[in-house]
Amino acid sequence: MIQTTLIAEPGKQEYFMSVTFDAPRELVFKTYTDPNTIAEWWGPRRLTTTVDQMDVRKGGVWRYVQHDSKGNEYAFSGVYHESVAPERLVQTFEFEGMPGQAGLVVVTFEELPGGKTKLTEQSIFPSLAARDGVIQSGMEAGAKELFERFAELLAKLQA
């Protein structure tokens, strides 16, 4: 069982989500940035996620679409500012259902003893209201499920 930690200080337009995986950093980075694995872990189990675009390099565009059983679609997209394998990824992020609220996500991959890797996502928003709206939408439970799926995928890749 993995543990996901959310730090969202009052009054700050950012939050930090951290989780430690029992897998080496190279594998964690490679899996996190592989378009072919997104459908297996990005988002909750009840939705199907498809990758419309995902070109992990400076200026590359990413766009994921989530589909529910009723045919609704939820699209998220952004661009990569930098990809420094296996250490850091910086990208913009926008929920297309709320245009004009793009944020910045800084993902760091830190090597820990015993072949483990600590992944931290810093999400920076254009306003405190935008951050709080995302947190109140149930983001934390969603992120826990997403990282559980990611840990299962890493275990499968190492089996």
Contacting positions for its own copies (CB under 8 A)? 11-14, 58-61, 78-82, 88, 90, 92, 94, 100, 102-104, 106, 122, 124-126
Which H or E run contains 144?
helix 139-158
Whole-number Å distance between alpha carbons of 125 and 38: 23
Supply the minimum distance, in Å, between the C-beta of residue 89 and its own copies.
11
Shortest distance, position 8 Cβ to its own copies, whole Å:
14
- As measured in angstroms, the least distance from the Cβ of 5 to its own copies is 19
CA nearest to 91, candidates 58, 126, 128: 58
DSSP code for 71 = S
DSSP state of 47: S
29 or 125: CB nearest its own copies: 125
Which is nearer to its own copies, 2 or 106 (by Cβ)? Answer: 106
Amino acid at 79: V
Of 43 and 103, nearer to its own copies (C-beta) is: 103
Measuring CA to CA, how many Å separate 98 from each of 32, 72, 95?
Answer: 25, 15, 6
Q: Is 151 exposed, middle or buried (0-12, 13-18, 19+ CB in 10 A)?
A: buried
Q: Considering the complex, what minimum distance in angstroms separates the CB of residue 79 from its own copies? A: 5
- Smallest distance from its own copies to CB 18, Å: 16
- Is the Cβ of residue 63 or residue 149 nearer to its own copies in the bound state? 63
Task: Report the residue number, 73 or 87, with the smaller CB distance to its own copies.
Answer: 87
